[in-house]
Amino acid sequence: MVTYVTAVHQHERSSDIVRLLAGDRLLPVVILPDASAAEPLAAAITAGGLRSIEVTLRTPAALDAIKRLAASSDLLVGAGTVLNTEQAERAVEAGARYVVCPGFSAAVVRRCQDLGVPVFPGVATPTEIQMALEAGLEAVKFFPAEQLGGAPMVKALSAPFPGVRFVPTGGVTTANLAAYLAIPAVLAVGGTWMVAADLLAAGDYAEITRRTAAAVAATRPDTTGDADVR
Ligand SMILES: O=C(O)C(=O)C[C@H](O)[C@H](O)COP(=O)(O)O
Q: In what order do the strands lie in the sheet with 139-142?
A: 122-123, 139-142, 165-168
Position 229 in a domain: no
3-class SS of residue 225: helix
Position 160 in a domain: yes
Q: Is the pLDDT of residue 226 over 60?
A: no
CATH number assigned to the domain comprising residue 149: 3.20.20.70
* Residue-number span of the structural domain to which 157 is assigned: 2-218
What is the C-alpha to C-alpha distance for residues 228 and 89, in angstroms, rounded to an integer?
Answer: 40
Position 29 in a domain: yes
Total domains present in the chain: 1
Position 194 in a domain: yes
151, 183 contact by CB (below 8 A): yes
Position 226 in a domain: no
Would the CB of 172 count as within 6 Å of ligand 1?
yes
**Can you give the pLDDT at residue 6?**
44
Position 126 in a domain: yes
Ligand 1 mutation target, pool 101, 104, 169, most atoms within 8 A of CB: 169
Burial of residue 62 (CB within 10 Å: 0-12, 13-18, 19+) is buried
Could you tell me which residue, 10 or 216, shows the higher pLDDT? 216
Position 70 in a domain: yes
**Can you give the pLDDT at residue 223?**
59
- pTM of the predicted model, to two decimals? 0.91
Average pLDDT of the residues in 137-145: 97
Position 166 in a domain: yes
In this prediction, what percent of the chain has a pLDDT beyond 90?
Answer: 88
Cα-to-centroid distance, 189 and ligand 1 (Å): 11
Residues found in the chain: 230
In which band, very low, low, confident or very high, does the pLDDT at 15 lie, cut at 50, 70 and 90? low
pLDDT tens per residue, range 147-161? 999 999 999 999 999
